[in-house]
Structure 1
Amino acid sequence: MGLKTKLGVSLAAGAISIATAVVSFYEGYEPTAYRDPVGIPTICYGHTETARLGQTLSQAECTALLQQDLGEAFAVVDRRAKVELPEPTRAALASFVYNVGAGNFARSTLLRKLNRGDLRGACHELSRWVYAGGKRLNGLVSRRATEKEICLAGLVQEAQP
C-alpha cells in the first residue's frame, strides 16, 4: 500500500496512525544498525537513542521502539504546543519532532508561530527543515512536503463543518 493510500486510511484513524505511516515510510525499516547520512548510528525505523553499530533487532523489537519513540514525540508536541491542534496537524508535528528532536523543535520558529496562533505559518515552516549536516537532502525535502501537506490538511479539516 502506497503512502497516499495509507494516509487516506489513517486520516480517519487518528494522529498516531498518520504519524506511524509517515515515519515508517520515510525512515524505512532496517533491523541492523547503520550510520545515517550524518553519521549517527541508527536502527529500525530511524531509532538513534540506543542504536549500536552491529546490533540487529527483530521486527517486534523495532515496532516497539517505533511506538515508544512516537509516543515521546507526541508528548513533546502536546507539552510544547500552547494551542489546540487538529489531529492531522498534531501527527505531522510528531513526525517532525521524531526526525529533528525535541530540542530543535523547542527552539524553532515553527513552534513560536504555532504558539502565537499562526498554525498555517507553522505548517509552512516545515519546508525550511531540509538540511542535515549542512547538506540539503532530497529525502528530507520529500518528507517535509508530506508533513506540510498533512499539517495544512488538518487546518482545512478543522475549518469544515
Structure 2
Amino acid sequence: MNISSNGRSQIKAFEGLKLSAYPCSSNQWSILAMCSYSGVQAGDVITPEKAEAFFREDIPIITAHLNQLIKVRVNQNQFDALVSPIFKIRSRAFAVSTLLKKLNSGDAAGAAAEFPKYCHGTVQGKKMPLPGLVARRKKEKVLFESELKAMKT
C-alpha cells in the first residue's frame, strides 16, 4: 500500500517547511522538522527543492517498512494515519509499539486509542507532552478512525 496525496499533504502540513537547521526536542540538530537526517549541523540551510527531495526519499522507505510491519488489512485513511507518526517516532520504535501490536491483533479501536500516547518530547531533559504533537496525534487518530465510524453507522 502507498500513502495517498491526502496523507502526503497532511504530513507536510504537520511537519512544516523548516529550511534552516535548528535543535529539535531530542537535542539533535534537525532540518524540516524531522530528526532523522544525520550530519545536520548548526547553520545548515537547504532549498525548498531539496526539502521536497528529502520528503520523496523518506516516504518510500517509511511505507515499505510499514507494509512489512502491518499484518492485517487496513484502509487508505488508516495507512495514511500510520505513516504520519513514523516521521517522529521512527520505524524502529513503531515496530515495538503497543499501537502496532493492537492493530495486528485485529483491535483497530485499541490501536486508535494509542495515537494520543505518542505526544511526548524532551524539554530541558524531561519527557513531557508537546502541544503540537498532542494536536497532531488527535488529527491522526481522527483520520485513522474515519472509515471505521462510517462502517458502524
Please report the TM-score for the alignment, with normalisation by the length of structure 1.
0.83
Q: Indicate the residue corresponding to 1:108 in structure 2.
A: 97
Offset, 1:45: 4.6
Name the aligned partner's letter for residue 55 of structure 2.
L
Separation in 2, partners of 1:72, 1:53: 26
1:87-113 per-residue CA deviation (whole Å, 9 max, x = no partner) reads: 110001000111110111011110100
1:5-48 per-residue CA deviation (whole Å, 9 max, x = no partner) reads: xxxxxxxxx83323222221122111111111231211125253
Q: Indicate the residue corresponding to 1:153 in structure 2.
A: 146
Separation in 2, partners of 1:54, 1:40: 13
1:122-156 per-residue CA deviation (whole Å, 9 max, x = no partner) reads: 11110111111211100110000010000101334
Q: Indicate the residue corresponding to 1:135 in structure 2.
A: 128
What SS class does the counterpart of residue 20 from structure 2 fall into?
A: strand
1:16 pairs, out of 4, 10, 15, with 4
- Pair 1:84-2:73 in alignment: yes
> Deviation above 3 Å: which 4+ runs of structure 1?
none
Change (3 A) 1:39 1:47: closer
Q: Indicate the residue corresponding to 1:119 in structure 2.
A: 108
Name the structure where helix makes up a greater proportion of residues.
1
1:28 pairs, out of 5, 16, 19, with 16
Q: Indicate the residue corresponding to 2:48 in structure 1.
A: 59
Name the aligned partner's letter for residue 16 of structure 1.
S
Offset, 1:49: 1.8
Contact 1:40 1:48 (8 Å CA) reproduced: no
What SS class does the counterpart of residue 37 from structure 1 fall into?
A: coil
Separation in 1, partners of 2:92, 2:55: 19
- Pair 1:46-2:39 in alignment: no
Aligned residue pairs, count: 147
Structure 2 gaps, min length 5: none
Separation in 2, partners of 1:52, 1:117: 43
RMSD of aligned C-alpha atoms? 2.0
Structure 1 gaps, min length 5: 1-13
Contact 2:119 2:130 (8 Å CA) reproduced: yes
Separation in 2, partners of 1:23, 1:46: 11
Contact 1:45 1:62 (8 Å CA) reproduced: no
Separation in 2, partners of 1:153, 1:36: 31
Contact 1:74 1:94 (8 Å CA) reproduced: yes
